[in-house]
Amino acid sequence: MSFQPAHISEVQTPALVIDGAIARQNIATMAASIPGTRLRPHMKATKCTALAREQVRAGHTTFTCATPREVVGMIKAGVGNDLLLANESVDAIRLQEMAALQDSALITVAIDSDETLHAAHVAGIQHVLIDVNVGLPRCGIAPELAGQLADKARARGKTVRGVMGYEGHLMMVAENSERLAKVESCMALLRAAAHDVGGDIISAGGTGTYNLHSNTGVTEIQAGSYSLMDTQYAQLGLPFAQAVFVFGTVISSNAQWAVVDVGLKSLGMDHGNPSIDGHAVWFCSDEHTTFSPNEGAPPKVGTRIRVTPAHIDPTVAQHEAAWVVSGDDIVDRWAIDLRGW
Amino acid sequence: MSFQPAHISEVQTPALVIDGAIARQNIATMAASIPGTRLRPHMKATKCTALAREQVRAGHTTFTCATPREVVGMIKAGVGNDLLLANESVDAIRLQEMAALQDSALITVAIDSDETLHAAHVAGIQHVLIDVNVGLPRCGIAPELAGQLADKARARGKTVRGVMGYEGHLMMVAENSERLAKVESCMALLRAAAHDVGGDIISAGGTGTYNLHSNTGVTEIQAGSYSLMDTQYAQLGLPFAQAVFVFGTVISSNAQWAVVDVGLKSLGMDHGNPSIDGHAVWFCSDEHTTFSPNEGAPPKVGTRIRVTPAHIDPTVAQHEAAWVVSGDDIVDRWAIDLRGW
């Protein structure tokens, strides 16, 4: 696309729009609370090296990635010096691509089984982290087996940097004290595993629990969504503001409802419908969202509408780029350059 | 990606995989039922000019598009000679891009308001179709106002090709006779509007209702999903088989569950979780699906798994390309080249 808009009214829609000042404020708020390498920002939420550069400016130098493409893309963009693939892989080609970049940055790959250790070893990956299951039924070895896997890794010459354990099932526990207590129970499992594994790193947490780890023994937090936020995390009353929207244009309107050109292909839908301030969202279609105002008449055709996604991660991943605004002026274009796998 | 797999076991995952023989059989089945220009295949479901070429081979030459990028991409690929943008747009730049291609193919744009007529006119679009609301609360003018809009269009020199009305709210009515009766009610509205509008085209329908229009007066059907299918449409007992999967690799496994590397960013989630034959899907995360077998032990790390999406349209749109298989051999790579807007 060669057209470069100068004002938000000129943006072609649907468009991912980031309020740069709000995103930077979110990043500054987090950096004040979890500074430097205490935070390992997660790239899966934003998939954008330009945004990661803002996190580097705020003092973070270590990053979490969910896919090999994120790791490789960060290194090729020269962002970060310590990249953790916080996910398992047995893809020989992609592991080799990462291994070939080990002179450019410290690359660490999570393992949770003999097979993932073997794949990392064969590919020539030097640094590994033991992924420990702390309650979320997903990846991670049982805590009591973590030490054995670390021993096997060391026996094959690997450097074992420590453990990670993602308490993802607790991110949306609504009541703060309950969330804190449950996080502590999970982290007791992770500390026990860390004792058996050794190494310097105990990595855990996310945007929903970033501030509940003061006494958990965790050395670093993997939060990512905090920089842009979404309507689900907004329910937790966190000190981060909504910095991203999908900007749309009303393309049809009548006395009862209007339709904006933001749909299933520009929104992550696993957390449900998006929101539109002052309006009720009826439903989303491939390229449309039907909605009606809480008061008054529906907006006319051509009206620009901010649609707020329910889940930021899969929303961002559907866009080629985000327009960065300062007020209503377009000040930058950030490629979502870490999409894919 | 330079790596070109020859066998499905070599495909890097997650990967969109199309069984070419099944897709061609679906296309042949539809072409036998709704031949030639009686079907105007919808590109929003597949966003793939290579697949559209198969539809051309089956005798279809007219296509339905949801976005200007689909229209422009089809023309630049030389596929189809009559492209309908079955959606409203007030984007001057994109309308002009389409207008500039009117010598290469017949381009028709749906309008449902004075504003969308005006935008099409200013951009130099010659052919329009009146989009009529037949019950789905989305785009489309009220049936009784369709004739007036057609008159306004003709007064501005437009060629009004007829009407369209999408009964999308009826696609998943489970009971056949009920679906037929409701389709007939909607199409009575569309026929009345067509009488007022004039022109040759009465366009409607989708994969869920393609075979219910024998007596509705509709001149063409806009089905798209039939070529690849998904688990939601499969509930209707249509004569089309599942031709597309998201192929994944088990990356973590234990006695209770396994995790495959297919998640929210490779699946459309608005129709709910995907399916895995012989297994129960527990939940999807950004890059993972957790599942367990109905019988026996979970599959081991490294096992390849076929994940069947619940909704094809937003699933396909998340992938850069699809691998086409014949049995377990990779025989082609089809770019999903019409993504975006």
Q: Which DSSP string corresponds to A84-96?
A: EE-S----HHHHH
Q: In B, which residues are within 8 Å of A142 by CB distance?
A: 254
The alpha carbon of residue A170 is apart from the nearest alpha carbon of chain B, in Å, by 14
Residues of chain B with C-beta less than 8 angstroms from the C-beta of A264: 268, 270, 311, 313-314
Closest to B176 in 3D by CA, of B213, B212, B204, B205: B212
- Residue A276 located in a structural domain: yes
pLDDT at site A176:
87
Distance (Å, rounded) from C-alpha B14 to C-alpha A328? 38
Q: What is the mean pLDDT of chain B?
A: 96
Q: Which of these, A155, A253, A143, lies nearest to A188 by C-alpha position?
A: A143
Closest CA in chain B for residue A14: B341
| pLDDT score of A100 | 98
Where residue A2 falls among pLDDT bands split at 50, 70, 90?
Answer: low
- Give the one of B14, B91, B285 whose C-beta lies nearest to A138's C-beta: B285
Q: Report CA Rg, chain B.
A: 21
Give the distance between the most distant pair of CA atoms in chain A.
71
Q: B136 and B243, same structural domain? A: no
For residue B133, give both structure tokens.
């609301």
Residue keyed to tokens 């995907």: B274
Whether the CB of A174 is below 8 Å from some CB of chain B: the reply is: no
A227 three-class SS: helix
Q: Tell me if B284 and A270 make a contact (CB, 8 A cut-off).
A: yes
Question: Do A143 and A274 share a structural domain?
Answer: no
Choose the closest CB to A264 out of B282, B313, B339.
B313
What is the maximum span of chain B, computed from C-alpha positions, in angstroms?
Answer: 71
How many domains is chain B partitioned into structurally? 2
**Does residue A232 sit within a domain?**
no
- Whether B324 maps to a domain, the answer reads yes
Can you list the pairs that B212-217 forms with residues at least 24 positions away whose Cβ atoms lie under 8 Å? B212/B179, B212/B180, B212/B183, B212/B184, B213/B183, B213/B187, B215/B184, B216/B183, B216/B184, B216/B187, B216/B190, B216/B191, B217/B187, B217/B190, B217/B191
- Whether residue B2 has pLDDT greater than 70: no
Q: Flag if B264 and A268 touch (Cβ within 8 Å).
A: yes
The answer to whether residues A79 and A161 belong to one domain is yes
Token pair listed for A268:
């992550």
Chain A interface, mutation test: which of B2, B44, B72, B90, most A Cβ atoms within 10 Å? Answer: B90
Between CA B298 and CA B276 the distance in angstroms is 12
Give percent helix, percent strand, percent coil of chain A, each to the nearest 5.
30, 25, 45
Query: Do B206 and B265 share a structural domain?
Result: no
Q: Is residue B230 part of a domain?
A: no
Among A160, A191, A226, give the residue marking a domain's end.
A226
CA B323 to chain centre: 18
Same domain membership, residue A200 and residue A92:
yes
Alpha carbon of A103: minimum distance to chain B alpha carbons (Å): 22
Using a CB-CB cut-off of 8 Å, the residues of chain B touching A341 are 12-14, 261, 266, 287
List the one residue out of B305, B222, B319 whose CA is nearest residue B268: B319
For B81-106, write each residue's pLDDT tens digit: 999 999 999 999 999 999 999 999 99
Q: Indicate whether B231 belongs to any domain.
A: no
Q: Is the pLDDT of residue B219 over 50?
A: yes
Residue B275 has pLDDT above 80, yes or no: yes
- Return the CATH number at A37: 3.20.20.10
Question: Starting at the edge strand that comes first in sequence, how are the strands of the sheet with B201-204 ordered?
Answer: B62-65, B82-85, B106-111, B127-131, B159-165, B201-204, B220-221
Chain B residue with Cα closest to A304: B90
Do residues B18 and B248 touch, judged by C-beta distance below 8 A?
no
Other CB atoms within a 10 A radius of the CB of residue B102 amount to 15
Number of A:B CB contacts under 8 A? 148
Nearest to A287 by CA among B140, B14, B61, B45: B45
Spell out which residues of chain B touch residue A252, defining contact as CB-CB under 8 Å. Answer: 88, 112-113, 116, 138-140
Strand partners, A252: A259
CATH, residue B251: 2.40.37.20
* Chain B residues inside the 8 Å CB shell of A313: 264-265, 286
A284–B3 C-beta distance less than 8 A: no
Q: Residue B200 domain-assigned?
A: yes
Per-residue model confidence as pLDDT tens digits over A275-328: 999 999 999 999 999 999 999 999 999 999 999 999 999 999 999 999 999 999
| Per-residue pLDDT band at A83 (split at 50, 70, 90) | very high
A103 part of a folded domain = yes
Look up residue A137 and give its DSSP letter.
S
Token pair in block for residue B295: 């019988």
Share of chain A above pLDDT 70, in %: 99
Contacts 24+ apart (CB under 8 A), A207-210: A207/A45, A207/A171, A207/A233, A207/A238, A207/A240, A208/A170, A208/A171, A208/A172, A208/A173, A208/A179, A208/A233, A208/A236, A208/A238, A209/A167, A209/A170, A209/A171, A209/A179, A209/A183, A210/A30, A210/A33, A210/A34, A210/A39
Q: Is A234 on the interface with B (CB under 8 A)?
A: no
Say which residue the tokens 């609370």 belong to. A33
CB-closest option in A90, A93, A249 to B90: A249
pLDDT digits (tens, 9 = 90+) for A95-139: 999 999 999 999 999 999 999 999 999 999 999 999 999 999 999
Q: What percent of chain B has pLDDT over 70?
A: 99
In the block, tokens 């990967």 appear at: B15
Which of residues B193, B225, B257 is at a domain's end? Answer: B225
The model's pLDDT over B65-86, given as tens digits with 9 standing for 90+, comes to 999 999 999 999 999 999 999 9
Nearest to B301 among A13, A113, A320 (CB): A113
Ranking A1-15, A81-95, A305-319 by mean pLDDT, the lowest is A1-15
Partners of A284 on chain B (C-beta within 8 Å) are 270
Same domain, A269 and A165: no
Q: What's chain A's average pLDDT?
A: 96
Q: Tokens for A92?
A: 């020989």
Q: Does B269 touch chain A (CB under 8 A)?
A: yes
Return residues 185-214 of B near A (CB < 8 Å).
none
Rounded CA gap, B160 and B178, in Å?
33
Q: Same structural domain for residues B124 and B267?
A: no
pLDDT digits (tens, 9 = 90+) for B126-185: 999 999 999 999 999 999 999 999 999 999 999 999 999 999 999 889 888 999 999 999
Q: Which domain holds residue B324?
A: 8-15+239-335
3-class secondary structure, B125: coil
Report the alpha-carbon distance of residue A49 to residue A45 in Å, rounded: 12
Q: Are residues B214 and B321 in the same domain?
A: no
Task: Judge if A26 and A117 occupy the same domain.
Answer: yes
In a domain, B184, yes or no: yes
B1 pLDDT higher than 50: no
Q: What separation, in Å, do the N-terminal and C-terminal C-alpha atoms of chain A show?
A: 24
Instruction: For residues A269 and A216, state if they share a domain.
Output: no
pTM to 2 decimals? 0.96
A97/B contact by beta carbon, under 8 A: no
The answer to whether A317 contacts chain B (CB < 8 Å) is yes
Asked if B255 and B211 sit in the same domain, the reply is no
The pLDDT assigned to B172 comes to: 87
Last residue of a domain, one of B199, B225, B251: B225
Q: What DSSP assignment string belongs to B64-102?
A: EESSHHHHHHHHHTT--SEEEE-S----HHHHHHHHTTT
Q: Does A112 touch chain B (CB under 8 A)?
A: yes
Q: What is the DSSP string of A288-329?
A: -EEEEESSSPPPPTT-EEEEB-S-HHHHHTT-SEEEEEETTE
Cβ neighbours of A261 in B, within 8 Å: 89, 341
Report chain A residues whose CB lies below 8 A from the CB of B249.
Answer: 90-91
A66 near B CB under 8 A: yes
Q: Are residues A210 and A277 in the same domain?
A: no
CA distance B260 to chain A (A): 9
